[in-house]
């Protein structure tokens, strides 16, 4: 009887303990979630290796702007024709144009530039930042992160030359790596992408031929700055005027 009474008295305590175990697990889970949130909110300090790679890349790459890109993306004047100059252009952005997700692609780009710049027959490197050069990005209809791989031939003595070849290669924001970008050149994987021949071609597209690329770039940039509700109001006004 004493054993039965003790068992009966212990049952509520056991039940309470069973109820408390999930609560403790939940508390631990909440603490872990808070820890992860704090860790993700505090940016990690850049490693010396990443800083060194970025410094190397900055010394061998050219920054493209609306004013200078035609002068930069050319062939070495000392090279004798016929020859072709390869350019690897990294299209990147910031919080507005890349929604803040270009950091991994930028790291991969710096690693690939540092590796490729030490190889023979390396391409020239350039960067187009859509955050600071939105007009040029819109005139090419290019979005970050991506690679424009260009092959620009040098004209012969009679000024005849094949047309420049460009390939637009989009990049995965989260999974792209430096070795992947390096293999684009070392293994000529850029050839797996068909050359672009549409109206947005930076050299021979219809917009460039008729000097409309920059004006269209301004128009597209203006539309991107419009609040989402403004087009609906304009359409409403236009439909009422037609009625």
Domain identity same for 98 and 216: yes
- Tens digits of residue pLDDT in 109-156: 999 999 999 898 899 999 999 999 999 999 999 999 999 999 999 877
Q: Is residue 142 part of a domain?
A: yes
Mean pLDDT across the stretch 23-47? 45
Domain identity same for 102 and 73: yes
Domain identity same for 38 and 62: no
Q: Is residue 145 part of a domain?
A: yes
Domain, as residue range, for 143 = 52-225
Domain identity same for 130 and 87: yes
* DSSP calls for 40-86: HHSPPPPPHHHHHHHHHHHHHEEE--TTTHHHHSS--TTSPSS-EEE
Domain identity same for 3 and 70: no
Residue 123 sits in a domain whose CATH number is: 3.40.30.10
Percent over 70 (pLDDT), the chain: 67
* Residue that the structure tokens 């050299």 belong to: 203
**Cβ-based neighbours of 215, under 8 Å, separated by 6 or more:** none
pTM of the model: 0.73
**How far apart (Å, rounded) are the C-alpha atoms in residues 33 and 21?**
18
Q: Is residue 236 part of a domain?
A: no
Residue 4 pLDDT more than 50?
no
Domain identity same for 146 and 195: yes
Q: Is residue 234 part of a domain?
A: no
Domain identity same for 178 and 218: yes
- Tens digits of residue pLDDT in 218-235: 999 988 877 665 556 656
Tally of structural domains, the chain: 2
- Tens digits of residue pLDDT in 51-96: 666 766 667 899 999 999 999 999 887 777 778 999 999 999 999 9
Domain identity same for 77 and 162: yes
């Amino acid at each position: 009887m004493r054993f039965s009474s003790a068992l009966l008295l212990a049952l509520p305590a056991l039940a309470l303990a069973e109820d408390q175990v999930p609560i403790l697990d939940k508390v631990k889970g909440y603490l872990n979630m808070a820890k992860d949130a704090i860790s993700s909110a505090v940016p990690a300090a850049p490693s010396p290796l990443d800083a060194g790679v970025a410094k190397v890349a900055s010394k061998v790459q050219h920054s493209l702007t609306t004013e200078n890109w035609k002068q930069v993306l050319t062939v070495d004047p000392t090279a004798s024709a016929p020859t072709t100059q390869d350019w690897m252009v990294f299209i990147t952005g910031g919080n507005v144009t890349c929604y803040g997700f270009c950091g991994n692609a930028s790291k991969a780009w710096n690693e690939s530039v540092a590796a490729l710049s030490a190889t023979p027959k390396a391409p020239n490197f350039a960067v187009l930042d859509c955050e600071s050069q939105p007009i040029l990005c819109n005139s090419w209809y290019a979005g970050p992160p991506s690679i424009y791989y260009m092959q620009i031939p040098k004209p012969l003595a009679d000024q005849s030359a094949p047309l420049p070849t460009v390939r637009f290669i989009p990049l995965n924001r989260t999974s792209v790596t430096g070795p992947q970008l390096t293999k684009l050149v070392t293994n000529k994987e850029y050839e797996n992408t068909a050359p672009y021949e549409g109206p947005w071609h930076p050299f021979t597209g219809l917009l460039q031929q008729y000097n409309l690329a920059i004006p269209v770039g301004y128009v597209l940039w203006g539309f991107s700055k419009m609040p989402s509700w403004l087009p609906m109001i304009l359409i409403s006004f236009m439909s009422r005027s037609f009625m």
